[in-house]
Structure 1
Amino acid sequence: MLFLVYCSLIISFLQYDECIEDCDKAVERGRELRADFKMVARALTRKGTALAKLAKNSKDYDIAIETFQKALTEHRNPDTLKRLNEAEKAKKDLEQQEYYDPKLADEEREKGNETFKQQKYPEAIKHYNEAIRRNPKDARVYSNRAACYTKLGAMPEGLKDAEKCIELDPTFTKGYTRKGAVQFFMKEYEKAMETYQAGLKLDPNNQELLDGIRRCVEQINKANRGDISQEDLQEKQSKAMQDPEIQNILTDPIMRQVLMDFQENPRAAQDHLKDPGVAQKIQKLINAGIVQTR
């Protein structure tokens, strides 16, 4: 397999066109001689590497990607798979750069805003999708799309967009109101209140955030008073049991003893509450509906 040695040397000297030609000859000769599949795959991998180095647009990357895929059908080599993934990522990044246009993104965002006002939420999402493709770093679009998803009842998608909004711009308070609203509608009142409080650190007088906290407090107090249906209570408890923080509290040996004392030794339980850390965990369990005070 002299061709393989030669094309490897050519890659080292950045003579990619000649390398591609020699790799093709190596593959052709290898098939004639019924060479080991690994050798043919190696030649195809080197050809793909050279093609990726020469790529200037997405179509060029398509040819490199196709070559790596052919190599993998000959022999599934980890290095080839790694190079394929790198070429696919490079193609995606290049396409994003080619498509990037903040001006068109703003136009699409405005179109989305107009259709949102008309309560045409699916149509608004299409405009926001296009705005994100044109400018994926604009936190405002994720905030607006989160509002659309909330209106449509698609809470997981809305939560994801709200979190992306905060990630892109942690100082943009709208992201916190969006996230808090989604969590509120998901009946995760404690989490929603934490989100609203995080937003208030940036803008202490923000009325949306203040109203959000008020609504959360009302719901938490309502649950603590027992003004909640058994069905809602069970749903709340079920969600709480999926929360890693609640799971950690319930599996903590010290907290298990505290909870046992609440049932069997109320006086000892009161002593436990003098510890701020324990008291805070108990309050979390009460808010989650796991521990009931009535």
Structure 2
Amino acid sequence: MSYPASRLARILISVGISWLLLPVNAADNKPSRKSQAAYQRGVKADQAGKRDDAIAAYSEAIQADESNSAAWRARGKDYLAAGDNDKAAADLEQAVKVQPGDAQSYAARGDFFLATKQPERAIQDYDTAISLKLQRTDAYTGRGNAYLATGKYQPAIDDFTQAIKLRNDNAEPFKGRAMAKAALGQYRDAIEDFDLCLSRKSDSEEAWVERALSYTSLGDYQHALEDLNAALKLNPDDLRALRVRGAVRERAGDDYGALVDYGEAIQRDPKDMRLYLARGAVYARLKKFRESLQDREQAVQLDPYSADAYIARGGSYHLLGEHEKGLADRTLAISIDPNHALGYMARGNAYFLLGRYDEALADLQKALALDPSNADTQRLAAQAQAKVDEAVQKAMVKEKAPDTGVVVLPGVVEPPAKVEAPKPEPPKPEPARKPEPTAEIKPPVPTPPEPKPEVTAPKPEPTAELKPPAPPEPKPAPPPAAKPKATAPKPEPSKPEPTGEVKPAQTAPKPRTAEGYHALARKLLQDEYFAEAIEEFTEALKLNPSHALAYNGRGWAHFRLKQYAEAISDFDHAIQLNPTYANAYVNRSAAKRSSGDKAGAEADQAKARELTK
């Protein structure tokens, strides 16, 4: 799974400025007053969005005291945001060097490695930061994203969960955990986390698109299209959302709608080879073979080293009856990638169309060696084998010598007496033979390969031409024909709630103050003991009925137990006590959305955004 550097940089900057305000490790030397003053000016410039002024102030701080690791770290972050990766790397390296015990510097360098697509190095730095007791949601979220980028989905889920426990109003860890669950095929659990992410940050384009992919994997195309429309409403130039919507429309049988989306995407990015392959596949399915060939020729021109593009163009040639050209393109594809299973399958198909069954069989056997489980290749190989066997049998019959009835024994010198051969009978006219089929015989159309969420490879076409594999995009499993309970995706096992026999908080004496009960309830909430947390929040409210934080916490516990009416009531109380309580509005928005009150949810989201400006 890839993470564009520009997106990661925006995420890191959005959460990174607050890190700058934190003091360095207490064990480290305190910078000089002049350096500290310049550093604070840099922080204020960053908060005002004046990056150049901030960099100048941090440079002044470094000149005044080179041991000021916070200034090195802050300037490195700004260089990263400006796209100057070399200067960013140098500054962040220096921040670690001057203060080896500063956990924040390791975390900042981890952010840099993640943004520049070096996730393994990022994990090492996050490990060091966390081992130095940096218990911040940003550090766990960063390491979770690094695990996600390396395909280590369960460790990613663990880190995102820890980030959520530390701060559950941050949308990013919910989104990251949802993406990890989707990668493991836990689509329903993923959708639940995407819901929580969007309830906190409704303008997250990526979350809308990713949730659409999860819906697509479950065969819920209607909700997928609604999510993609929401993403495009936020950003009409979101090319990925356009590509995915085109693919979903294909899956839903709306080929003309898919053509519209692919065409619009091509207008905005005419150099994306995958878009031409995707549109070419739709044209072929609509029997617009010339238009399909034009798109596939354009794909070859954009990437002359793409085996997939040559396989696709070869398919168009076959559809137009130009089988020799199709064979040539499939041969080129194999020369580009000698281990391309689909390339051998496609060329085997071309040989079959030309009636060259022995060569077809050789290629299809090679394809099966590379991909033994491909059912389409197995079927076509069986047909080719049958044709080869038939040809061999005919050749054996044709070459068999006539039987004269004379037996020659070994070691006999004298030839045996001649036996007069019978007179030949007048020749009888042979019945007319049905001509052997030629290149016009086509094998049955192969079953299309497993569809992918961002379908950029051709779908099944009206002939035996084979399709190239889809370009690398997240790949949801195809929807099942039926949805029996036994085959539905199983949710990830959740932590069981205590039954009353064991309550982790009961080992210590009960607190006697509202704050004591509140602290105990918060700990239970973090550990996901929601029913027990409600009991302790209630005790806190008995002692202090004006405790807005306790109402908000108890409301969240009710929400997690899907007790939406009780949750909304508690959030109402929290807001009445503190009308500027943005987090309570965010939480009430989530509860209203889950209970079906979308208008109320949107209103609460708008109020929360207003309060956090």
TM-score by length of 2: 0.20
Larger Cα-atom Rg: 2
More helix by share: 1
TM-score by length of 1: 0.41
